[in-house]
Amino acid sequence: MSPDPKDSITPTPRERELMMLIARGMQNKNIAYELKISENTVRAHIGNIMRKYRLQNRTQIAIIYALKAAPLSLRRDLGRSGANPAAVKPAQALAQNPRVPTAPD
């Protein structure tokens, strides 16, 4: 099986900054303030990231950022254990299991 071309997609430096701030749980208005851009620009960047990686929500952006930011040794260990989260794209994982169990109230 040939490598997925989406795996070679690289975010721009600005998209990477934005992904990091999303992974930290920041809201659009706080991201805009931090990066000194408008909220509309933040939304545009988020839309571009979602299209680029075929994602559906901010949580998936945070996951992609975390996977790409993880040290190579950790990614290698995950691959050896057979639990490589990078093998399943977030959108595919949601399609396979759309309902994630939550803690009872």
User: Under a CB-based contact definition with an 8 Å cutoff, are residues 52 and 9 in contact?
Assistant: yes
Average pLDDT over residues 89-96: 53
pLDDT band of 40, cuts 50, 70, 90: very high
Please tell me what DSSP assigns to residue 100. -
What pLDDT was estimated at residue 45? 95
Residue type, 35: L
What pLDDT was estimated at residue 10? 84
Tell me the whole-structure pTM to 2 decimals.
0.62
What pLDDT was estimated at residue 41? 96
Please tell me what DSSP assigns to residue 81. T
What pLDDT was estimated at residue 70? 75
CB neighbourhood size of 5 (10 A): 7
- Distance, in Å, from the CA atom of 28 to the CA atom of 6, rounded to the nearest integer, reads 26
DSSP letter string, 6-42: GGG----HHHHHHHHHHHTT--HHHHHHHHT--HHHH
What pLDDT was estimated at residue 49? 94
| Mean pLDDT computed over every residue of the chain | 78
pLDDT tens digit string along 45-76? 999 999 999 999 999 999 988 888 877 777 67
- Distance, in Å, from the CA atom of 90 to the CA atom of 43, rounded to the nearest integer, reads 20
> Domains in the chain and their CATH numbers?
13-72 (1.10.10.10)
